[in-house]
Structure 1
Amino acid sequence: MSEQTVTPEKDEAPPALAPHPLPEGAPPLPDAPPLVPVAADAAPRPPRRVLRAVARWTAAALAFGVLGTGTAFGIASLERTDVPGLATEGDGRWDYPELSLPPLPVGSPRPFSPGNPAEIHHADLRELLLPAPAGAKPDKKLTGGWISTETFLDAYREQDRRSVAQLLKDAAPRHIAARGWTMPDGTTSRIYLVRFNSTAFASRMIDDLNVGSSAGTPLARTDTTDIDATWGSANDLENLSSFVFAEQAPFGAEHVRQAYTLAGDTMALVVHERPGKRETALIPFQQTLILQNQLLA
């Protein structure tokens, strides 16, 4: 996916993104690539959020001993290996391209701006899908475009697909988009975005799948799946809620990590699956989830 750069109006200050800490005990993730701000016709976020984000970036810069500019843009302009504590060598991160928010239709607000109390995503849902990282082999069925309900149902166990199909029929989603790929180590990644007519329908879908204290309706090729204790609420972006799970030992021929995110009118499902008896790597999974959530925020 090629980079998209959207230039804001001269008088509009672009929003800054705050870094999100990894769970306690997990190796540190380097900062994610900054998102390019959305088009000028989108309503800006409240100034207070921007100030809080800039303040957090400034504090992080001071903590790492970065001299000169202490803003988010100062750090973003540096190479990762130039910032103490943010070297990427050997940490297992995938090499994603620089991210950018897609332009919005003229006059349409961002999903969580004051002018959008219904929390509707007006951008093209396909443009909100995370692009594949370097070295990935694209999934021929999940190409980043629209998919059918039947294709989405393939994510679940065969015996549960009829009940999930009925839930989708009742909730009547507007669109489903998906992208998938396979990495050189055999890890497959699948991201599904399901947009509903309102936040209420998206939230109800999460509830009807019984997602919360458990992973709910089992995904295909999963056995015992439980809450991933390495993910905490501090990892969630403002206005978004993620429910993160990992398959527990002993698992079968694959190890699966999965997460649902509720983002206004849209539900995201992120799945990483690795064949064999080795666990799916934690760092790339959480990296993928954080970056996808940033695109939805």
Structure 2
Amino acid sequence: MTDRDTPAAPEEPLPGPPAPPQALAQAAGTAPAAADAPRADTPRAEEDPAARRTRRRKAALRWSAAALVCALAGTGSALAVTAPERTDIPGLATKSDGRYVFPALTLPPLPPGSAVPRENKSRHAADLRRLLLPAPREAVGALAPAALPSPAATGSPAVSPTASPTASPTGSASPSASGTAPALAERVDCTTLLADEKDPAKLRALLVQYACRAATAREWTASDGTRTRIRLIAFGSSKEAWPPFVELRDHGNPKDIDGLRSVAPPDWDMLYGVNFVVRETPPGAPGTQPAARLAYLSAGDIVAVITMTNPEGVSAAAFQQVVAFQSALLA
């Protein structure tokens, strides 16, 4: 047998590309159904527009509710801090410096045709009783002097050299349950001021000489034990009021206070048209307050005397407050 007669060996096929997994699966008999096999080139089904809107609406509602809760919480916190008084909030309370809480001060009405006093030479046309500083909220004691001369029946008391400064009071006002002052003080005799002085002879002569026209007074004792006395005396003009003011300023000597001395004019923001002088007792010990403080005021035709006493010491802030408020009503 020759080589030509020998049959040729079959040629082996060349390796081709690997069969796809689907074909292998079909060959193995485990190919999935055609309906279940996703096509690679088929795009993802679009989401239902109604469902997408519902989901967005729910998300917007959740964010809106969260924002509303945060806003309400912030508002509530702000109200909790700002609504109460600062001294009522734990950690923010400060020690009181002795100042009082007064009712809203208003200038009294003027008679028809009367002008507002604009300088220290003017005469006050308003009712003197309405120019008197009311008692503060802290007033717990009597709001009228313990012993006032009886006012004249005419309502315009005149000074008499023989008038008794210790006559029984008439028409004194009693404090209300809340400790507030009466709306209107009572008229008193001009000799009321004499009852406060150790030696009132010269002051009495000046009151007669310069014809004191009217007087009013108010007293109260605060919850801290400070007793306050205010006296207002009106004259016919500023020239007639000046000599009694000078006498009190230079020689005033209250009978229940010892050791008064004049002090340098404090740096207060006083109103124009009000002259004032301050006197006080020396402090009992370093760091303590004086037991008595006095202020003499001159505002046109009116002379005012403010006396504050407390064995434990009179607060400088309360004294300045009373003097400033009374001056504001007279300026």
Bin of the TM-score, shorter chain as denominator length:
0.5 to 0.7
* CA distance in 1: counterparts of 2:297 and 2:112, whole angstroms: 27
AA in 1 matched with 2:322 = T
Show the counterpart of 2:194: 153
The count of aligned residue pairs is 202
Check conservation: 1:193, 1:268, Cα contact below 8 A.
yes
SS of the counterpart of 1:235?
A: coil
Give the Å deviation of 1:80: 9.2
Map Cα deviations across residues 103-161 of structure 1 (whole Å, 9 max, x no partner).
Answer: 10111111116xxx84010000000000000131233437521111332212212xx02
AA in 1 matched with 2:97 = D
Show the counterpart of 2:99: 93
**2:118 equivalent among 112, 127, 133:** 112
**1:139 equivalent among 137, 143, 152:** 143
SS of the counterpart of 2:225?
A: coil
Q: Which moved more, 1:143-152 or 1:263-272?
A: 143-152
* CA distance in 2: counterparts of 1:104 and 1:125, whole angstroms: 11
- 1:70-89 to 2 correspondences below 5 Å: none
Show the counterpart of 1:163: 202
Give the Å deviation of 1:166: 1.4
Check conservation: 1:152, 1:192, Cα contact below 8 A.
yes
Show the counterpart of 2:255: 220
Check conservation: 2:265, 2:277, Cα contact below 8 A.
no
Map Cα deviations across residues 176-226 of structure 1 (whole Å, 9 max, x no partner).
Answer: 1111111122211011111101100111112233x2xxx522112122212
AA in 2 matched with 1:186 = G
Show the counterpart of 1:200: 239
Map Cα deviations across residues 64-91 of structure 1 (whole Å, 9 max, x no partner).
Answer: xxxxxxxxxxxxxxx996xxxxx98623
Indicate yes or no: 2:304 matched with 1:268: yes
Show the counterpart of 1:6: none
AA in 1 matched with 2:142 = P
AA in 1 matched with 2:193 = F
AA in 2 matched with 1:174 = R
| Greater share of strand | 1
* CA distance in 2: counterparts of 1:120 and 1:230, whole angstroms: 25
AA in 1 matched with 2:112 = V
Check conservation: 2:190, 2:214, Cα contact below 8 A.
no
Structure 1: stretches of 5+ with no match in the other structure = 1-78, 82-86
Structure with larger Rg: 2
Indicate yes or no: 2:275 matched with 1:237: no
**1:121 equivalent among 103, 119, 124:** 124
Show the counterpart of 1:4: none
Give the Å deviation of 1:271: 0.7
- Residues 240, 118 of structure 1: alpha-carbon distance in 2 compared, 3 angstrom cutoff: closer
* CA distance in 1: counterparts of 2:233 and 2:270, whole angstroms: 19
* CA distance in 2: counterparts of 1:217 and 1:180, whole angstroms: 19
AA in 2 matched with 1:226 = R
Check conservation: 1:174, 1:195, Cα contact below 8 A.
yes
Check conservation: 1:222, 1:255, Cα contact below 8 A.
no
SS of the counterpart of 2:142?
A: strand
Show the counterpart of 1:256: 292
Check conservation: 2:97, 2:315, Cα contact below 8 A.
no
* CA distance in 1: counterparts of 2:94 and 2:284, whole angstroms: 31
Give the Å deviation of 1:236: 2.4
Please tell me the root mean square deviation across aligned C-alpha atoms, in Å: 2.8
* CA distance in 2: counterparts of 1:195 and 1:223, whole angstroms: 27
SS of the counterpart of 1:133?
A: coil
- Residues 237, 140 of structure 1: alpha-carbon distance in 2 compared, 3 angstrom cutoff: closer
Q: Which moved more, 1:282-291 or 1:147-156?
A: 147-156
